[in-house]
Structure 1
């Protein structure tokens, strides 16, 4: 029986020890892979808040100081409950919005803010979460609460490096609610690429929230831009990003290397923050379109379920977003609902068409004359 337990640390992020070289050198390949430095000439994410639905973020990390707001514990809904900072959530927040303070790690959107929404305590699955069949009837899950809270408290982006194997109604409704508020949702697709199921069936189990419609599902790639062997492959994958050997911040201080679709999703969340900073009115579906249309390393068929439309390119995505915003959707006042041009012909009044009536009558008359003529000829022959 599949369960709806939220997982992250072991399932979606593997830490591989401290980086040997300065962290900026270690992360340069990630910045290059996403073409971030060119995007920074336009924006660094100022004015955008990214909600990190994860374990709690450590606000004392130098790269995040002064830019993290803490929401309530989403597992209990108790507003004043103190939640200890977690390793995973802190690492993801740094990838999104690390300031680079003191030559430290710099995030994709270094001027963005973080809203920490604790969903998992101490980087372990929430204790006491019932199996899937029991949660189906639950009024609201912790993730559903987190999405609604983020949408109602100023978040323009939600980053979710979490996953479970079952869709839930309350979460689907919360996803729709957040999207309706214009919030862009990003999630890791999971690390099930090497499971027995994936090997036997040529596809991985779907992970949620990445599997919900409207959520940008992110797969992981390696330094060569190829799909990481562990990354899940299914149709929830929209785009991909680096997820192997990615430097991240540690709680309190220091750095280590990460591996997983968690890191890839956080990086793409940072790119989305850049887009929303530059084009705040761009709706979620067009943000997703900008990411997909501008991705690098597009598969030969245009799309596949391993890397989606390719690796996200931050600068190209900003250009694509600009093109989307330039599409005019004007509403013309008055009677000019369809713009300028010649009026169409006035429709004819309903009823019989005189010309057709004349043609029909003439045809009938001709037929009668012919018929009568034939009868006269036959009578004359008989005489």
Structure 2
């Protein structure tokens, strides 16, 4: 058994852990994944749509688009980060291929693995992830991700600008990043649904001691659908992080996946859970292309099964995603939204339209009053000027005084 433990490091994005077990035979993979599809009620949603026409951007390691389940439906975008695979881990394409198969796997004839949106397309945005020290339990260092941009931010913007309707991110790091938060807001404004794994720190020493896990990003950003993992019984997986970034959950234990070159393995981790939910979001966007991200989130949360007694908790969120019910609820929400938006030419309430207010303009009475006052003021001013001029004129000479310039001697 090959164990990949996710160890978070400030300043470095890392793939979420997957436990890779013994190989799974092609004839057995459908049977092995049956419980996953049933737990999420995926086949009910498939009666309406299988995700055709929707592109899911996968921000992850590279994807082997040559495997039978994905052949002809993977487009590779530019590399979003430098290649630096984890030491001792599988090759760089293992994680991305596994996640892509859970989103858009289309089987291989009568056999092969099926993703939750088997007719969707994958936009692979390679972001090769860094590893960290094994079994790290110490508190993370202060956020060192102070660069002006980040690979995740670039990937989110690229996806939003190149036709992706859903972005799946099975990765994370401690601490928020300004550029990533802005990229999330940008993608949401363009109607893109963002899904991310919440992390695998649930079994760490800190989580056990404090009854909560460190927040991981991008799952922790507002508007991102954070996904936790449950087992075959619907209980929270022991490794699944628990905090308020958990919105919903999905199966994340003993999940069959496709590996590069073909063949199957069994995996576990919140990575797998997030990929499965991203596929369900693709089903909703395929049926309702104009549905905004917040209504997709509402459809997922309001129909989740195995919900906690209080309605929500920080282990499983609102419960396990039910694809069939979420798709139906999305239709209801879109219908209500349309009914609540009257045409601009109508008004609320009964009765005739009120008369338009009189446009502002000159008041004849006031204009006349101002004119009379102005004329009166001018006349008064002119009169005052005349009076002052008269008073300041030359005075007549006194008796006995000789006028200036008069000839003759002085007496």
SS in 1 for 2:238: coil
Aligned counterpart in structure 2 of residue 68 of structure 1, from 66, 74, 79:
74
Q: Aligned partners of 1:65, 1:186: CA distance in 2, in Å?
A: 24
Partner of 1:118: 126
Question: Unaligned 5+ residue runs, structure 2?
Answer: 1-7, 84-90, 133-140, 355-411
Partner of 1:216: 225
> Which deviates further from its counterpart, 323-332 or 225-234?
323-332
Q: 1:76 to 1:52 in 2, by over 3 A?
A: same
Q: Aligned partners of 1:312, 1:285: CA distance in 2, in Å?
A: 16
Alignment pair present for 1:146 and 2:151: no
Alpha-carbon offset, residue 124 of structure 1: 4.8
Contact 2:170 2:274 in 1 (8 A): yes
Alpha-carbon offset, residue 113 of structure 1: 0.1
Partner of 2:340: 329
Aligned counterpart in structure 1 of residue 23 of structure 2, from 18, 21, 25:
18
The runs of at least 4 consecutive aligned structure 1 residues that moved more than 6 Å come to none
SS in 1 for 2:173: coil
Structure 1 residues 73-152: aligned runs within 5 Å: 73-75=79-81, 86-102=93-109, 103-120=111-128, 124=131, 133-136=143-146, 138-152=147-161
Q: Aligned partners of 1:37, 1:133: CA distance in 2, in Å?
A: 43
Alpha-carbon offset, residue 133 of structure 1: 4.8
Q: Aligned partners of 2:68, 2:131: CA distance in 1, in Å?
A: 25
Contact 1:294 1:317 in 2 (8 A): yes
SS in 1 for 2:179: helix
Per-residue Cα deviation, 1:48-100 (whole angstroms, up to 9, x for no partner): 000000001101111000000000000159xxxxxx86100000000000011
Contact 2:143 2:175 in 1 (8 A): no
Structure 1 residues 339-378: aligned runs within 5 Å: 339-340=349-350
Aligned counterpart in structure 2 of residue 252 of structure 1, from 261, 266, 282:
261
Alignment pair present for 1:287 and 2:296: yes
Per-residue Cα deviation, 1:160-204 (whole angstroms, up to 9, x for no partner): 000111100000000001111100000000011111111111100
SS in 1 for 2:128: coil
Q: Greater Rg, structure 1 or structure 2?
A: 2
Per-residue Cα deviation, 1:130-156 (whole angstroms, up to 9, x for no partner): x865432x2210000000000000000
SS in 2 for 1:147: helix
- When the two structures are aligned, how many residues end up with a matched partner? 331
Q: Aligned partners of 1:316, 1:46: CA distance in 2, in Å?
A: 19
Question: Unaligned 5+ residue runs, structure 1?
Answer: 78-83, 126-130, 345-383
Q: 1:341 to 1:268 in 2, by over 3 A?
A: farther
TM-score between both structures, scaled by the size of structure 2:
0.77
